[in-house]
Structure 1
């Protein structure tokens, strides 16, 4: 009897890959699976083979041959050299029109390179961002595929089926050509960095104001019932309520305050610098993680003096509400910065990314899913050219309403000696963006003084230079 061919294949049977394969099988697809170490493939079959139809293969050739053409193959392997090595292993066994999808956290520039190389050989390459962690991969993640529209006709229905859904809408859509999918996932992770950092700053402020860990957990739980409702707020409440299995103390108190990172937040900031997009809050969150792990610096700085990091709060409930409002405002700024980078990057790389679509597929399944994203989707749907989320009709009035609380929180943190870099930088971003005139005139005057870099005037077009070391006369250098 002829064995059935697989509808799709997955390479890489670590937790994310195996869960994604299981998700596909749960939705009725026949799934070919392969891992460099065959024991992992065997374990998936032994533990989860009853959940659907899997075809396990030890060799890459048998794996490819077990998939119906045109083949769709998902790579869930380590980003970088491992991805390139797996692609090189696959290519000799493929046929024209076959699809390779990279579902790892690859750098979008690597995806652009790979897509060019692989499409030249007659195959499709689809760089795809997948968010939702291990649980999301199994139950329904947010999926951000790039690549050709033709490849999405084949791969898209399967990805949409296994993605999270909001009503009947899948949290998956075609993002754009070559590296667009991984670019949007990179920005997602950058926003995630800022979101987690400002949540950490919030916890530190609540503790400094006298709340116990249990009271802070309950505060986050209550906040999750309102406009701050989000996955990260939800799991913050759960994490803070967790006792240490060894000592019975709050688990958060025995976790070392040293945060790791895998690169996507750094790439978000690096790319923003290249694009000239200010992402202050996201950048501060990356630097905060770096500082937390800079042991030599922290040891050396332990001799420095300052306030005792205790907040004297006259009305605790009022302060908690101030922090809630400041947290919402700072989260909005993180989204605003991220969406500005998506919009600008889409223009720079010729991808024509729909910012509304990005917001739509982030409403469920992904790590930054939040109640706020439905409002964001509506704003960008109404105005696809919206430059700043902060200026959106449903957002700007609330930022104005929360302004005083936001400022009180930043002041309180500074006076108590509590570092709140995302709260503070987000407020600075807000103030710089709204200012009718900022201090860049000083910078440009200094640049012209020491480097003859010229300056522009407010009263007439053109670029000018002042003879600083001479008679201080002004020369018009160019007309534009």
Structure 2
């Protein structure tokens, strides 16, 4: 921690800061010594500094605070009179504030007596004019002796309130709290009290992990009062009305500048609305996607916060501690963009996840039901594919699932083929339709789950109808061709998802960085993979995966393998919605002259919607009376 002792010139921050540093056995730094020479000259001449003058000074301090925090902490004496100055300094490390408050008369008398200091007493008026007193941190009156002031600060530091709280002790909320507490941060945890069903939940979590710094509450007001401003409160509760109700209960208890983080899977347009509503009340709202499941929450998830940059700066130190790390040791977290960008990106993440899961299910079906391979052999084949650069978290867990036995039998063979879903995949399909983004393969993954849910109807129809392949047809066992098709479909799935991200980001002016998005998805999240590692660099040079050199190389060697797999599967009566849709998406995307000219002619025929001509200037529209005689 870096403790910043601040106040107007003459309040005693250098004296108090040095004594406090001695008590804490920390290095002491005086911000006055970091002013550029031009600033020192102005102040010596009695000229007040402008915000423009202070920016280089604050940038120097911000960089140093980052280093001091990493090196074990320090005490800094700094004026930091305005809130935006303090926000800038806080953005670089774990900062605690001590405000030395005194009257104008007392401080002016001190300045007049002070010798050999460049701060001219005439500048005191300007300092009091710009002073914005905080409603957070430790406030100390300077009328006491320096040693008594330091003693009070030490006492208050030991009693200092916690800043970070989590509401909702379900699987994700509990494990995120444990993750942060294991990093040495004290975390306030709250869970509602419902007689007979939810009683003492937060206390139980604390009792089960008594070695960790957790402060449990089941009273919301006491939970909020126990947090220091600016408070950071993360909601880990079900999406929808529950979020609005929880925010409504929190609002009267919060202060301006406090931060609410929604870590659930809320719809991004709901998050945009909440962000605007809370902004009007002086509160920051950060919609944040979280991926990684239970294990990720505890050991390191991928985090996708949106909302305001200022709000993000209040909690990024905490989030960087709990996030997964990429291969270079950098936290898998980035400020995705403003508004609901965080939840939007998580929604697309889940959509890609749906498609990749369905792709693996189709590959499994072709080998198991088509070729008659047992789970163990399929697991061996998929494990071998990982060595060809196709490794992913989903591939790894699929291999593990295939090998799991229940007694002498494979457990997978006993699981009902009826997939459930929570809605994020369907949201992506609707958004893709709204923004005109081709989304076939990812949409088919959602439809496949919908069809799987109709188990009774499927069983009934299976008894009445059977697809019988041509007697002379042979379903070839060619794992290497299937592997190439798998690689191509996976790339197309990611192409479709990232295309939606770019389109909507451009529309909302979010400025989402596709390379950075891929980077934070390289670890901690469900769709982490070797492919995602490659996309970090690919998106530094390309905005479209279809046009990237690496993609063109894969398409060149795999497109016929994909077509072969689709033909074989359809001929033998196997449903492969994502694989076949990916091929259709690819073929449609590389077709320069499509059949859409007929569709446009049909629209003009029955609706006079007009059309453009290939032999005329683009942007000129024509209408034809199709039934009139020439």
TM-score range, shorter chain: over 0.9
Partners of 1:152 and 1:174 within 8 A in 2: yes
Picking from 182, 192, 198, the partner of 2:359 is: 198
Residues 164 and 120 of structure 1: is their aligned pair in 2 closer, same or farther, counting only changes over 3 Å? same
Q: Following TM superposition, by how much is the alpha carbon of 1:356 offset from its aligned partner in structure 2, in angstroms?
A: 1.1
Question: Is 1:410–2:566 an aligned residue pair?
Answer: yes
What's the counterpart of residue 317 of structure 2?
157
1:442 Cα deviation from its structure 2 partner: 1.1
Contact 2:613 2:621 (8 Å CA) reproduced: yes
2:482 is the alignment partner of 1:320? no
Match of residue 55 from structure 1: 215
Indicate if the aligned counterparts of 1:309 and 1:418 stay in contact, CA closer than 8 A: no
- Asked if structure 2 preserves the Cα contact closer than 8 Å seen for 1:196 and 1:232, the reply is yes
Residues 519 and 532 in structure 2, CA contact (< 8 A), matched pair in contact too: yes
* Structure 2 CA distance for aligned equivalents of residues 26 and 225 of structure 1: 35
Q: Deviations over 1:335-361 (max 9, x none)?
A: 000000000000112211111111110
Partner of 1:187: 348
Runs (4 or more) in structure 1 with deviation over 3 Å come to: 1-4, 308-314
Tell me, in whole angstroms, the C-alpha distance in 2 between the residues paired with 1:235 and 1:254.
17
What is residue 98 of structure 1 aligned with on the other side? 258
Q: Whole-Å Cα distance in 2 between the matches of residues 381 and 28 of structure 1?
A: 36
The aligned counterpart of 1:478 is none
Measure, in 1, the Cα distance between the counterparts of 2:429 and 2:461: 26
Contact 1:31/1:55 (<8 A) preserved: yes
Give the Cα separation in 2 of the matches to 1:309 and 1:185. Answer: 44
- The alignment status of 1:358 with 2:517, answered yes or no, reads yes
CA distance in 2 between counterparts of 1:185 and 1:309 reads 44
Aligned counterpart in structure 1 of residue 398 of structure 2, from 206, 230, 236:
236
1:437 aligns with 2:593: yes
**2:174 matched to 1:18?**
yes
Match among 487, 492, 498 for residue 333 of structure 1: 492
Following superposition, the deviation at residue 237 of structure 1 comes to: 0.1
Q: Is the 8 A contact 2:475 2:568 kept in 1?
A: no
Cα shift readout 1:397-418 (whole Å, capped 9, x = no counterpart): 1121111211111111001100
Measured on the aligned residues, the alpha-carbon RMSD in Å equals: 1.6
Q: Is 1:115 paired with 2:275? A: yes
Is residue 379 of structure 1 aligned with residue 538 of structure 2? yes
Look up the match of 2:554. Answer: 398
Alignment equivalent of 2:448, drawn from 281, 288, 291: 288
**Aligned 8 A contact 1:375 1:394 in 2:** no
* Alpha-carbon distance between aligned partners in 2 of 1:191 and 1:274, rounded to the nearest angstrom: 18
What residue is the counterpart of 2:436 in the other structure?
A: 276
Tell me, in whole angstroms, the C-alpha distance in 2 between the residues paired with 1:225 and 1:75: 40
1:144-199 alpha-carbon deviations (Å, 9 max, x no partner): 00000111111112112211101221110000011000000000000000000010
> How many matched pairs?
463
**1:252 maps to which residue?**
412
Q: 2:603 aligns with which of 439, 444, 447?
A: 447
1:29/1:308 CA distance change after superposition, 3 Å: farther
Q: Quick check: 279-288 or 300-309, which moved more?
A: 300-309
Query: Counterparts of 1:424 and 1:376 in 2: how far apart (Å)?
Result: 24
Deviation at 1:308, TM superposition (A): 6.0
Residue deviations 1:18-64 (CA, integer Å, cap 9, x gap): 000011111121100000134211211111231x2111112111111
CA distance in 2: counterparts of 1:85 and 1:147, whole angstroms: 20
Q: TM-score, normalised by structure 2?
A: 0.72
Cα distance, 1:58–1:3 mapped onto 2, change above 3 Å: farther
Q: Given the alignment of the two structures, is residue 221 of structure 1 paired with residue 417 of structure 2, yes or no?
A: no
1:360/1:469 CA distance change after superposition, 3 Å: same
Aligned to 1:174: 335
Q: Does 1:262 align with 2:422?
A: yes
* Structure 2 contact 203–217 (Cα < 8 Å) conserved: no
- Choose the corresponding residue for 2:200, options 20, 39, 52: 39
Residue number in structure 1 paired with 2:89: none
Aligned residue in 2 for 1:143: 303
Aligned to 1:476: none
Q: Is the 8 A contact 1:128 1:143 kept in 2?
A: yes
Contact 2:302–2:333 (CA under 8 A) maintained in structure 1: yes
Deviation at 1:250, TM superposition (A): 1.0
Q: Match for 1:84 among 244, 249, 259?
A: 244
Which runs of structure 2 are paired with 1:338-353 in the superposition (5 Å)? 338-353=497-512
Distance in 2 separating the partners of 1:142 and 1:407: 35
Quick one: distance in 2 between partners of 1:66 and 1:97?
Answer: 16
Question: Which structure: larger Rg?
Answer: 2
Q: Is the 8 A contact 1:5 1:30 kept in 2?
A: no
SS of match in other structure, 2:458: helix
Deviation for aligned residue 1:68: 1.7
CA deviations over 1:236-288 (Å, ceiling 9, x no partner): 000111112xx532111110000001000000100000000001100000000
* Range that drifts further, 17-26 or 299-308: 299-308
Q: Secondary structure at the match of 2:298?
A: helix
CA displacement 1:106-138 (0-9 Å, x = unmatched): 000110010011111100000000000010001
Whether 1:468 aligns to 2:626 is yes
Provide the C-alpha distance between the structure 2 equivalents of 1:312 and 1:161, rounded to a whole number of angstroms: 55
Task: Report deviation, 1:420.
Answer: 0.5
